Structure 1
Amino acid sequence: MSWQGILFVEHQGEIVGGGQFSLLALMQHLRNYQPHCATGGTGTMTAAVRALDIDVEVISMPPIRPGRIFAVWRCVWDIYRMARKRDVVLLHANGSRCMFYAGLAAKFLRLPVCWHVRINDSDGWWDRLLAGWATCIVVVSPAVAQRFAHLDVGAKVRIIYNGVDLEVFAHGDRAVSRARWGWGDRPVVGMVAQLIPLKRHDIFIAAAALLAPRFPEAVFAIVGSEPDPAQGYEALLRSQVAELGLEERVVFTGFCDDAPGLFAAFDIAVLTSENEAFGRVLIEAMAADKPVVATEFGGALEIVVPGQTGLLVPIGDARATADAVGSLLADSDRARALGVAGRERARAKFSIEAHVAQVEALYVEMLKR
């Protein structure tokens, strides 16, 4: 077994979404390489890396601006120093800012660098620059691959779906989680997502308003926190709930540290995003045997087989979302069948083992160049 070192670069010190969870899972389950990690600050991400007993160092990775030349080069130097000290053979950058810093350090180190791209949105001319520096570009779905379609870098792009530790989500404690939130035996429809406008929680709430009279016992759970409370998005959503008279039906749980238990407590998982590169939470729900209802964004088209493992609805359509959820609340046998089929699809295509095997095969290829 080879224990060559890989330096993972993550500019977040906090866990802010699926990108950090996916990186943690990859580092935790590497089989043939030794992970090291540079993070951009102290916080939940750095603590999670340490909890996995993975070597981690905090390095300031500020936004890249002309007035911060000294800070930028200090970061490059710190990554260079860390890589040399650990004698790593490859750098793995989680996102664009990390790719800038890791890419420059890799040039001085004369090492290959992998750019892991997890979002659809282009960074403009930065994409061309960073793609030129990258030895290989890993994208999480065909939708993300389209971000580079206009650049002459097709040979560098590899589609590798995010991986989920399916066994963890297959064993959530439904009874404990429901007792924690006081849901008892009531039907629970849940949405797990950061509280940001892109996720379109307003559509979830509007669908809840349409469903509430028909299913008077149902609870609609919004799970997640707001990265920047100053933006006022959660306050806006709470106002919408109040205006619709749903205070007793819609629950804001905030960030939950027991995702497996939470998915186990759900009866149906919903994701109403208007644009999502992948949709990791859909796989987590499927691993927990839950039927999913999602909008027809790029990642969901890869994850959900409509009518077989879940249901897809048009983006921004509260009525269609309510109809899909209502059809499953009214037909528990169908909901159960979709959940079972979803679990099997998750096992076949989105396991952490398959993800790690593909990434490690890519490392071998990069190191041979």
Structure 2
Amino acid sequence: MTSAPRTVLYVQHAAALGGSAMSLLYTIQGLDPARFTPVVALVRPADELARLYEGAGIRTVPWRGIHPWDHSTVAPQPLHRPSTWAHLADVARHWRSSQRSTLELVRHVGADLVHLNSMPLSPCAEALVREGIPTVWHVREPPLPARGPRYRAIRARMMAVDELVFISHADRRAWVGGERGLVIPNFVDFSRFDRWMDGGAVRARLGIAPDAPVLLYVGGWSPVKGIFPLLGAVARLRERFPGLRCLMPGSVYAQSTRLPARAARAVLPLVGAGTVSQRVRGEIERLGLADALVQLPFADDVAPLFAASDVVVFPATRPHFARPAVEASAMARPTVASRLAGLDELVDDSETGLLVPPGDPAALADALARILGDDDLRRRMGEAAYRAARARYSAGPAVERVMEVYDRVLAAHGR
């Protein structure tokens, strides 16, 4: 007799489209519907996220009662900032209510298993463990640089859940010293990434000459993902490649209208600082880069942008798993990235791309110029990257491993 599919509740912390949202979508789309039925809970409901999942036929539930612990993400909030303490106070104040809300969500959905999609969901993890609910925790971020109380608090909760899935070996070592958990890198659905796609139509639509050298940077205006080293490198490259263009999806977005954001935009420039977006705009103007940067809104279908590019660049300033590097490999494009933990697992230096010191615009420009100026090297690295992507990042084997984790956790709970 065939058993009914098990309901898997995916708790999504993100408030906007991005890497975690797309990774979760690819995972769910690869599930065997005879074994698992997915439901996505959006703890920060956003129309664009709801459309992403519902457009793929996935049931989505808005759920506002959970307060994520955000400072545990890739760009931690340092303790010297008043906003960090305000956030900590908010998380502490809502810790128990977040736990109650988590359990109410499980009952509302009728979940057999919960998949926490990222590290900021510590309150959820504690509640689920206490109630004996089968739980898988996806670890998408490295730990904080300092191994202080916050690190120890998060790690203690990690060690208590049924199963941990890390997206890089570096993160697994940093969090648990390899004591438990398994590594399943973020993967790609090759049906979405056709390496033979003609990028000429995209270039034409964006007004880019067919023979112009084109970079692709998928990081928005995030300092952690390297926007400032990138701008410095582009300024240097223009002297060698006058027609250079840099595609920047995710750099056009609506600014927050909340009072703290509006106050920051008004006050910070008066004290010689400025918000990130103000600083980025100022640097673009100072370097005269407006015509070299093709600024675009976030795109969930990025394959055409890869097809239109020659090299992908990801100059992160902190250890980081870079989905764009994986997608570049799937499209047979080399990547130039920072030599950091996590990134060095995605780019085989001098084979599938080049690694450079983080925060060094001159070294970044030199590496990009080396690839842009050598067609044979660019093709050779692209081919090597594609072979590596097929071996390491194919969706089918990766999702099968995820489903095996679900089966193992459910069996351990007698389900």
Normalised to the residue count of structure 1, the TM-score between the two structures is 0.90
Residue 330 of structure 1: how far off its partner (Å): 1.0
Q: 1:335 aligns with which of 368, 378, 394?
A: 378
CA deviations on 1:186-236 (whole Å, 9 max, x unpaired) are 111121113221112111111111111111111122222369664732332
Which letter maps to 2:38? Answer: P
CA deviations on 1:96-116 (whole Å, 9 max, x unpaired) are 3334225414543x3210111
Equivalent residue number for residue 176 of structure 1: 201
Per mean C-alpha deviation after superposition, the further-off stretch among 244-253 and 303-312 is: 244-253
Q: Check conservation: 2:67, 2:95, Cα contact below 8 A.
A: no
Residue 173 of structure 1: how far off its partner (Å): 4.5
Equivalent residue number for residue 267 of structure 2: none
Q: Residues 11 and 337 from structure 1, CA distance in 2 versus in 1: closer, same or farther, beyond 3 angstroms?
A: same
Q: Per the alignment, in what secondary structure is the counterpart of residue 40 of structure 2?
A: strand
**Structure 1: which 5+ residue stretches go unaligned?**
none
What number of residue pairs does the alignment pair up?
361
CA distance in 1, matches of 2:173, 2:347: 20
Q: Residues 114 and 77 from structure 1, CA distance in 2 versus in 1: closer, same or farther, beyond 3 angstroms?
A: closer
State how 1:288-307 maps to structure 2 within 5 Å: 288-307=331-350
CA distance in 2, matches of 1:37, 1:106: 20
Q: 2:322 aligns with which of 279, 283, 288?
A: 279
Per mean C-alpha deviation after superposition, the further-off stretch among 72-81 and 215-224 is: 72-81
RMSD between superposed Cα atoms in Å = 2.2
Residue 329 of structure 1: how far off its partner (Å): 1.3
CA deviations on 1:224-255 (whole Å, 9 max, x unpaired) are 23696647323322221221222222232232
Equivalent residue number for residue 213 of structure 1: 239
Equivalent residue number for residue 269 of structure 2: none
CA deviations on 1:157-208 (whole Å, 9 max, x unpaired) are 2111111112312254512221221113111112111322111211111111
The answer to whether the aligner puts 1:256 opposite 2:299 as a matched pair is yes
The answer to whether the aligner puts 1:33 opposite 2:36 as a matched pair is yes
Equivalent residue number for residue 224 of structure 1: 250
CA distance in 2, matches of 1:300, 1:68: 35
CA deviations on 1:66-87 (whole Å, 9 max, x unpaired) are 4336742552243232243xxx
Equivalent residue number for residue 166 of structure 1: 190
Residue 10 of structure 1: how far off its partner (Å): 1.0
CA distance in 2, matches of 1:106, 1:47: 31
Equivalent residue number for residue 181 of structure 2: 157
Equivalent residue number for residue 147 of structure 2: none
Q: Check conservation: 1:195, 1:227, Cα contact below 8 A.
A: no
Normalised to the residue count of structure 2, the TM-score between the two structures is 0.81
Q: Give the share of equivalent positions with the same residue, in percent.
A: 29
Q: Per the alignment, in what secondary structure is the counterpart of residue 365 of structure 2?
A: helix
The answer to whether the aligner puts 1:204 opposite 2:217 as a matched pair is no
Equivalent residue number for residue 89 of structure 1: 112
Residue 13 of structure 1: how far off its partner (Å): 4.2
**Structure 2: which 5+ residue stretches go unaligned?**
69-89, 145-149, 265-274
CA distance in 2, matches of 1:175, 1:103: 51
Equivalent residue number for residue 65 of structure 1: 91
Which letter maps to 1:256? Answer: A
Which letter maps to 2:402? Answer: V
CA distance in 1, matches of 2:401, 2:352: 24
The answer to whether the aligner puts 1:319 opposite 2:365 as a matched pair is no
Q: 1:9 aligns with which of 8, 11, 16?
A: 11
**Shift >6 Å, 4+ stretches:** none
Equivalent residue number for residue 137 of structure 1: 164
Q: Per the alignment, in what secondary structure is the counterpart of residue 312 of structure 1?
A: strand
CA distance in 1, matches of 2:320, 2:404: 23
CA distance in 1, matches of 2:143, 2:175: 10
CA distance in 2, matches of 1:82, 1:98: 18
Equivalent residue number for residue 117 of structure 1: 139
